[in-house]
Amino acid sequence: MKFRIFATAILLILISCGTSKPITDRSDIEALSAKKVVRGHEKSNFKNKTLSTDLKVSFKKSGQSQTLNVSLRLEKDKTIWMSGSVFGFSVAKAIITPTRVSYYTKLTKTYYEGDFSKINEILGADLNFTMLQNLILGDALYKLNPKDYEASIDQLAHLLSPNTPNGIADILLWIHPINYKIEKQEIRSYDQGRFLAINYSDFKEVEKTNIPGRMEIVVKDNKNNANLSISYKNIRLDEPLSFPYKIPSGYKNISKK
């Protein structure tokens, strides 16, 4: 399985996913095939057209830390828009599409326009648009093929682990036995000593859709050790959205650095 990233639930909806009857207490978890677990997770994936929410983002890397309040707007498979502020003052904006990444920072009066390379450098990751979108929504980063996994029970969750570890990189997923949302996904690169763990919790049901209330990301390798904590609030779905974005005049282009 190709490795492309190292860096980015609570009981809500009952999904039978082919079991004889749905369980209402996760302690009653029963072993299922990988096919049934994957099918259950796919049913729980985000299927709405838009999402908007307010985020509190805390980022720590290389001994430095920063906290931002972020307004997020997402049109599925098309646009991710973010506006960051500190103490109510706007400090940065970004707009991301499948083919374009652009952001500007008021504190340094700089802007970037290009591909995902700059975001990946900041996060210590290797992302594309779909992966970033799935990261935000709490869905699996990669398309899951049941034939590549075996299912077992671990930590009162369905654990999907590679059935043929390749010794280079493995992806493991812990899926809640009731709502089938991902509680944790880990990506381990053995040849480069890279490790990414994404933990989701406090899922909120909004119009019959489960959205994570909190996400924790830990990224480790030989050079980087980063932590990202995100809290979601004021979640809204399928509202008309606008994506106002214009780079102020006089800002310095850092795209080529």
Q: Half-sphere exposure of 46 toward its Cβ, with a 13 Å CA cutoff? A: 28
Q: Which are the contacts of 241, defined by CB distance < 8 A and separation ≥ 6?
A: 50, 52, 73, 75, 81
Residue whose structure tokens are 């990224």: 219
Distance CA 112, CA 254 (A): 5
| 102 inside domain | yes
Nearest to 76 by CA among 159, 126, 136: 136
Residue 24 lies in a domain: no
On whether residue 252 sits in a domain, the answer given is: no
Residue 155 lies in a domain: yes
For residue 147, give the 3-state DSSP assignment: helix
Distance of CA 15 to the CA centre of its chain: 22
Question: Does residue 200 lie in a domain region?
Answer: yes
Is residue 144's pLDDT more than 60? Answer: yes
At 134, which CATH number? Answer: 2.50.20.10
Q: What is 12-27 written as a DSSP string?
A: -----TTSSS--SSGG
The amino acid that residue 141 corresponds to is: L
Q: For residue 10, is pLDDT > 60?
A: no
Check: CB of residue 60 under 8 Å from CB of residue 226: yes
Query: What is the value of pTM for the model shown?
Result: 0.82
Q: Write out the residue range of the structural domain in which residue 168 sits.
A: 31-235
pLDDT, tens digit (0-9, with 9 covering 90-100), for 75-94: 999 999 999 998 888 899 99
- In this structure, is residue 215 part of a structural domain? yes
Structural domain total, the chain: 1
Residues comprising the chain, all counted: 257
Kindly state whether residue 247 falls inside one of the protein's structural domains: no
Q: Which of 50-59, 125-134, 189-198, 245-254 bottoms out in mean pLDDT, i.e. has the lowest?
A: 189-198
pLDDT at 38 over 60: yes
No. of helices (H) and no. of strands (E), the chain: 3, 16
Rg of the chain, C-alpha, whole Å = 19
Identify whether 218 is part of a domain. Answer: yes
Per-residue model confidence as pLDDT tens digits over 190-199: 766 778 899 9
Which pLDDT value is given to residue 168? 66
Distances (CA, A) of 161 to 22, 41, 189: 23, 15, 14
The rounded mean pLDDT for the chain is 84
Residue 54's pLDDT band, with cuts at 50, 70 and 90, is: very high
Contacts of 214-223 with C-beta under 8 Å, sequence gap 24+, read: 215/8, 215/135, 215/138, 217/7, 217/8, 219/6, 219/7, 219/123, 219/124, 219/125, 219/195, 220/194, 220/195, 220/196, 221/6, 221/124, 221/189, 221/192, 221/193, 221/194, 221/195, 222/192, 222/193
**pLDDT tens-digit map of 93-139:** 999 999 999 999 999 999 999 988 777 776 556 788 999 999 999 99
